[in-house]
Structure 1
Amino acid sequence: MSDRTEQVRSNPIGEGLHAVRSTFKSLCDAIDTPCGPAALDRLAGKGHRLSTSLLSKTSQGTIQSNLLRLISAVASDDFDFDRVKPLLKEAVSEDVDELAVWNQAESVTAEITPPPRAPASSLQQTPWLHTTNSFVNSSEHRKYVDGILKQELGAVSVGVPGFQDAYFHRVAGLQAASLDFFDLSQQGNDPLFQDGWKGWPHAANEADVLRWLRGIVQKLSEFANARRPNSTHSRRLLVEPNQPIQGSTAERKLDVGVVHHVEGRSESHAHWRDVLVPGELKSNPSADTVSKAWLDLGRYAREVFVSQDNRRFVLGFTLCGSLMRVWAFDRLGAIASEPFDINHDGLQFVMTMLGFLWMDEKALGYDPTCRTADNERFIEVTRHGAAERIFLEEVILRPRCIVGRATTCWKARPEGHPETQLVVKESWQYPERDVEGELLKEATDKGVVNVARYYHHETVQFDGADDDIRGNVRQGLDITTGHQPVPRRTARRELRASASNTGQKQTSSQRASVLSPNKRPRSTSPIKSASSSRPSPNRVRRRVILRDYGRHIYEASSPAVLLASLAYGVEGHRSLLDMGLLHRDISINNLLINEHSGSAFLIDLDLAVRLHRQTASGAQGKTGTRAFMAIGALLNEPHSFMHDLESFFWVLFWICVHYGPNGKDIGTTAYENWNYEEDDKLAASKKGVIDDEADFLDKAQQCFTAHYQPLIPLVNRLRRAVFPNGRRRRQPDLDLYSSMVRILRSVEDNPDVLE
Structure 2
Amino acid sequence: MRLWEFDRLGVVGSMPFDVNKDGQMLVSAILGYLWMSEEELGFDSTILDDGGRYTQIQRGGRMERLGLEELIKRERSVAGRATTCWRGSLEDEPDGGLVIKDSWEFEERPEEGLLLREATEAGVENVARYYHHETVHARGEMDDVRRNVRKGLSDTGGRNPFQRRPTLPDAVTSPATSSSSRPGRGRSTSTSRTITRKRSSSCVETSMPPPKRSCSNSPVKQDAYQRRNRVHRRLIMRDIGKSIYDANSLRAVLTGLLGGVKGHESLLNAKILHRDISIGNIILNDAEDDGFLIDLDLAIKIDRENASGAPSKTGTKVFMAIGALYGEEHSFMHDLESFFWVLFWLCVHWNGPGQKRSKTDYESWNYKDTKELAEIKTGKVLKEDKFNLEVNENFTPYCKPLVSCIQQLRKVVFPNGKSWEREDMELYSQMKSILMEIRKDLSIQV
Normalising TM by the smaller chain, what interval? Answer: 0.7 to 0.9
Residues 453-503 of structure 1, C-alpha deviation per residue, up to 9 Å, x if partnerless?
111111101111111111111111121133567976656xxxxxxxxxxxx
Q: Which residue does 1:499 correspond to in 2?
A: none
Find the aligned partners of 1:736 and 1:402 in 2 and give their Cα distance. 40
Task: Map Cα deviations across residues 164-211 of structure 1 (whole Å, 9 max, x no partner).
Answer: xxxxxxxxxxxxxxxxxxxxxxxxxxxxxxxxxxxxxxxxxxxxxxxx
Deviation of 1:406 after TM superposition, in Å, equals 2.3
Match of 1:394 among 65, 70, 74: 70
Which residue matches 1:411? 87
One-letter amino acid of the counterpart of residue 34, structure 2:
L
Matched residue, 1:652: 343
Unaligned regions of 5+ residues in structure 1, if any?
1-323, 492-513, 518-528
Distance 1:619 1:560 in 2: 35
Equivalent of residue 304 in structure 2, options 613, 617, 626: 613
1:663 and 1:622 map into 2 onto residues whose CA distance is: 34
1:365 lines up with 2:42 in the alignment: yes
Q: Does 1:422 align with 2:98?
A: yes
**Bigger fraction of residues in helix:** 1
- Contact kept, 8 Å, 1:537 with 1:620, in 2: the verdict is no
Aligned residue number for residue 445 of structure 1: 121
Q: Tell me how far 1:588 sits from its aligned partner.
A: 0.7
Q: State the alpha-carbon separation in 2 of the partners of residues 558 and 660 from structure 1.
A: 11
Shift of 1:404: 2.7
SS at 1:361 equivalent? coil
Alpha-carbon distance change, 516 to 667 in structure 1, aligned in 2, over 3 angstroms: closer
Aligned residues: percent identity?
A: 48
2:259 paired with 1:568? yes
Measure the CA separation in 2 of the matches of 1:533 and 1:401: 22
State the alpha-carbon separation in 2 of the partners of residues 586 and 544 from structure 1: 19
Give the number of the structure whose alpha-carbon radius of gyration is greater.
1
1:470–1:476 contact (8 Å) kept in structure 2: yes
Distance 1:713 1:515 in 2: 60
Shift of 1:633: 0.9
Q: Does 1:586 align with 2:272?
A: no
Quick check: 1:343 aligned with 2:41? no
Report the 3-state secondary structure (helix = DSSP H, G, I; strand = E; otherwise coil) of the residue aligned with 1:421. strand
CA contact (8 A) 2:126 2:293 kept: yes
Q: Which moved more, 1:646-655 or 1:478-487?
A: 478-487
CA shift in 2, pair 1:364/1:612, >3 Å: same
Equivalent in 656, 664, 669 of residue 360 of structure 2: 669
Higher mean displacement: 441-450 or 698-707: 698-707
Partners in 2 of 1:619 and 1:629 — Cα distance?
Answer: 15
Question: What is the CA distance between 1:516 and its match in structure 2?
Answer: 12
Aligned CA RMSD, in angstroms, stands at 2.5
Provide Cα deviations, 1:600-632, integer angstroms capped at 9, x if missing partner. Answer: 110001110000124423457875321111111
Aligned to 1:545, what secondary structure does the other structure show? strand
Alignment correspondent of 2:110: 434
**SS state at 2:39 partner:** helix
Cα distance in 2 between the residues matched to 1:584 and 1:445: 21
Q: Quick one: structure 1 residues 532 and 696, their matched pair in 2 at CA, closer, same or farther if it must change by over 3 Å?
A: closer
CA distance in 1, matches of 2:312, 2:320: 16
What do the CA deviations read for 1:313-357 (whole angstroms, capped 9, x no partner)?
xxxxxxxxxxx1111222222211111111112111111122222
Moved more, 607-616 or 662-671: 662-671
Q: Which amino acid aligns with 2:331?
A: S
Q: How does 1:72-221 map to 2 (within 5 A)?
A: none
Task: Check whether the contact 2:245–2:346 (CA below 8 A) recurs between aligned residues.
Answer: yes
- In structure 2, distance between residues paired with 1:476 and 1:688: 50
Which of 30, 34, 47 is residue 353 of structure 1 equivalent to? 30
Distance 1:608 1:704, change over 3 A: same
Checking the alignment, whether the CA contact within 8 Å between 2:255 and 2:284 is kept in structure 1 is no
1:326 maps onto 2:17 in alignment: no
Which of 61, 72, 75 pairs up with 1:385? Answer: 61
Q: Is the 8 A contact 2:125 2:266 kept in 1?
A: yes
> Which residue identity lines up with residue 426 of structure 2 in the other structure?
D
1:750 counterpart SS class: helix
CA contact (8 A) 2:156 2:223 kept: no
Give the drift of 1:748.
4.3
Higher relative contact order (CA 8 A, sep 6+): 2
For residue 392 of structure 1, what is the amino acid of its counterpart? L
Corresponding letter in the other structure for 2:101: K
Give the deviation of 1:664 after TM superposition.
Answer: 3.3
User: In the TM superposition, what whole-angstrom CA distance separates every residue of 1:227-280 from its partner, at most 9, and x where no partner exists?
Assistant: xxxxxxxxxxxxxxxxxxxxxxxxxxxxxxxxxxxxxxxxxxxxxxxxxxxxxx
The amino acid of 1:394's aligned partner reads E
Q: Secondary structure at the match of 1:363?
A: coil
Count how many residue pairs are aligned between Structure 1 and Structure 2: 398
Q: Is the 8 A contact 2:348 2:358 kept in 1?
A: no
Given that 1:628 and 1:647 are in contact with CA atoms closer than 8 Å, whether structure 2 keeps it comes out as yes
Does the CA contact (< 8 Å) of 1:568 and 1:601 recur in 2? Answer: yes
Q: In 2, are the aligned partners of 1:453 and 1:548 still within 8 Å (CA)?
A: yes
1:474, 1:621 → 2: CA distance? 29
* C-alpha separation in 2, matches of 1:337 and 1:418: 48
Tell me whether 1:698 sits opposite 2:389 in the alignment.
Answer: yes
- Whether 1:728 aligns to 2:419 is yes
Q: 1:281: which partner in 2?
A: none
1:746 Cα shift? 0.5
- 1:287 maps to none
Please state whether the residue corresponding to 1:335 is helix, strand or coil: strand
- Asked whether the equivalents of residues 404 and 428 of structure 1 are also in contact (C-alpha less than 8 Å), the reply is yes
- 8 Å contact from structure 1 (residues 554, 663) kept in 2: no
CA gap of 1:552–1:484, structure 2 versus 1, over 3 A, is: closer
SS in 1 for 2:95: coil
**Is 1:555 equivalent to 2:246 in the alignment?**
yes
2:53 alignment partner, SS class? strand
Go from structure 1 to structure 2 and tell me whether the alpha carbon gap of 1:553 and 1:663 turns closer, same or farther (over 3 Å shift).
Answer: farther
Q: How does 1:276-315 map to 2 (within 5 A)?
A: none
Q: Report matched runs for 1:46-85 at 5 Å.
A: none
Report the Cα distance in structure 1 between the residues aligned to 2:184 and 2:438, rounded to whole angstroms: 71
Q: Distance in 2 between matches of 1:489 and 1:747?
A: 63
Counterparts of 1:515 and 1:380 in 2: how far apart (Å)?
A: 31
1:745 paired residue number? 436
- Within-5 A mapping of 1:446-525: 446-483=122-159, 490=167
Question: Residue in 2 aligned with 1:679?
Answer: 370
Distance 1:335 1:619, change over 3 A: farther
C-alpha separation in 1, matches of 2:354 and 2:284: 12
Distance (Å, rounded) in 1 between the aligned partners of 2:268 and 2:27 = 58
The code of the aligned residue for 1:657 comes to V
Residues 483 and 660 of structure 1, relative CA distance in 2, 3 Å threshold: closer
The one of 212, 219, 234 aligned to 1:543: 234
- Please give the TM-score of this superposition, normalised by the length of structure 2: 0.84
The separation in 2 between residues aligned to 1:729 and 1:583, in whole angstroms, is: 19
8 Å contact from structure 1 (residues 380, 387) kept in 2:
yes
Task: Determine if contact 1:556/1:663 at 8 Å carries over to the other structure.
Answer: no
- How far is 1:379 from its partner? 0.8
Structure 1 letter corresponding to 2:120:
T
Q: Hey, what does 2:172 align to over in structure 1?
A: none
Q: 2:97, 2:238 within 8 Å by CA — same for their partners in 1?
A: yes
2:201 counterpart residue number: none
1:699–1:393 distance in 2 versus 1, CA, 3 Å: same
8 Å CA contact 1:559, 1:754 repeated in 2:
no
What is the Cα deviation at residue 407 of structure 1?
1.8
User: For 1:633 and 1:481, how far apart are their aligned partners in 2?
Assistant: 36
